[in-house]
Amino acid sequence: MAYSQELAERIRELIIERLDVTGRKMFGGIAWVLSGNMAVGVNNDRMVVRLAHEEVGTALAEPHVGPMDFTGKPKRGFVTVEPKGLEDEGDLAGWIATGAGFAASLPAK
């Protein structure tokens, strides 16, 4: 499955500054992991963000945010952000910080 190379590059430019971050193929796209824990990724033209379970409801109330559902069953602890919600670099950086912050809070794998 193809994914937006443009969005991937925008994310890569912002997240690569973090220590212990690597990119890997995941969910039919690309994801960035910190210390072995997924933080954010790209699937098709949407950004995938990993969150604490208790933060998902708040995130879903944001414009252009939906559940991560590639199989007919939403994946817990993840949301997707549509391209419209990522046009502003500040919004993109905020989602990266959210996903990376949660991933960094988890035990290293």
Mean pLDDT of 42-65: 96
pLDDT of residue 55: 96
**In contact, 1 and 29? CB cutoff 8 Å:** yes
Top pLDDT among 71 and 6 is at 6
pLDDT of residue 19: 72
pTM for the model stands at 0.93
pLDDT above 80 (res 1): no
The strand pairing partners of 6, in sequence order, are none
Question: Where along the chain do its domains lie?
Answer: 5-105
Residues in the chain: 109
Q: How far apart are alpha carbons 93 and 74 in whole angstroms?
A: 24
Question: DSSP per residue over 21-68, as a string?
Answer: EEEEEETTEEEEEETTEEEEEEEBTEEEEE--GGGHHHHHTSTTEEE-
- Range in 7-11, 16-20, 68-72 the model is least confident about: 16-20
In this structure, which topology does domain 5-105 adopt according to CATH? Aspartate Aminotransferase, domain 1 (3.90.1150)
